[in-house]
Amino acid sequence: MKTFPTSAVWCLGILFISVSLITTGSSEVQVVGSANTVVALIGDDVILPCFLKPNVSAEDMTVEWTGLYLKTRNIHLYLDSRDSNEDQHPSYRGRTSMFNEELKNGNVSLKLTRVTLSDAGSYRCFIPTLKSQVKETTVQLFVGAVSQPVISIDGTKGWGVVLKCESGGWFPEPEMEWLDSSGTILPADGPPERHRDSEGLYAVRRHVTVNQTDINRFTCRVNQLEINHMKETEINVPDDVFPKSQTGLIVGLIAAVAVAVLAASAGVYKRRKHTDGEFNLISDWSLMSHH
């Protein structure tokens, strides 16, 4: 009876183990999410991504969405082929849903509607019934808020007009700046005034004094880099709002002085001519009397 050499048996064994590991590794179902933070604004609807890879059906699996910042906070539960949210946290009541028609494709993402500021944080997508080492993934949700700035005329200063820009309802805290018609940043009248309300939203106010130009168009820009949002408002200041310029006053004063000088010169000339006339008459009379 022939037998394989020991070395051949070892080679076959190593080959079998390698193939088994490759096959097992490639077929193991894992839970995957998104490496990027999901950004939403207050009031938006947002999707927290979570998938099975490879794409296998999750219709008969259990899917748990919870908040990592509070382990007992149940966000959404899919159990026994249906949504089971009896123990759902009250703040999420009626605002969560899964794409049930996509479960067969391994899509277990969560849709969250009417996002609030308190929704921001880390969410865990967990499938406890999955026979895999990777049963969960984490999704980060960042919630911001923006609003349109409002410009008003706040009086005059020197030969310029003072403009005020206000914008509330921002999160995180934004930056505010003034620009002229060419997009050049204008030096503001001091640092911005900031305030945070009871809901945690920021309000910003800033003044600038502008001088009269050919266009008189100015822009207030509010920018929030963390959520990549910017809002702008323009204003066209009427010419008659600006105080009369110093140049105009000087020109007017020079003109008035010139008129006064001309009038005085004319008066002097008339008086001198009148005096010369009287002197000539006296001289003529004196000559005639001597003859």
Please name the residue ranges forming H helices in the chain. 6-27, 246-290
**pLDDT on residue 14:** 40
Tokens representing 78 are 């899919």
Q: Are 220 and 176 in contact (CB under 8 A)?
A: yes
Q: What is the pLDDT of residue 12?
A: 38
pLDDT for 247? 52
Q: What is the mean pLDDT of each run of 10 residues along the chain (291 residues)?
A: 43 40 56 94 96 94 87 85 91 94 96 95 93 90 96 94 97 96 95 94 97 96 94 96 67 57 57 53 48 49
CA of 44: how far to CAs of 113, 114, 165, in Å? 6, 5, 26
CA-CA-CA-CA torsion for 77, 82, 87, 89, nearest 10 degrees? 50
β-strand pairing of 150-157 with 96-98: unpaired
- Helix (H), strand (E) at residue 198: none
Strands (E), the chain: 30-32, 38-41, 46-48, 51-53, 63-67, 70-79, 82-83, 96-98, 110-112, 121-126, 136-144, 150-157, 160-170, 175-179, 185-186, 193-196, 202-210, 217-224, 229-236
pLDDT at residue number 108: 97
Report the pLDDT value the prediction gives residue 266, as an integer from 0 to 100.
58
Cis peptide bond N-terminal to 238, omega within 30: no
Q: What is the pLDDT of residue 10?
A: 38
Per the listing, tokens 């479960």 go with 103
Pairing status of strand 185-186 against strand 193-196: unpaired
Taking alpha carbons only, the member of 207, 212, 206 closest to residue 160 is 212
Question: What's the pLDDT score for residue 275?
Answer: 53
Domains of the chain: 29-144 (2.60.40.10), 150-240 (2.60.40.10)
- Give the HSE-up count for residue 133: Cα atoms under 13 Å, Cβ half-sphere: 4
Alpha carbon distance 171, 227 (integer Å)? 9
Give the predicted TM-score (pTM) of the model.
0.69
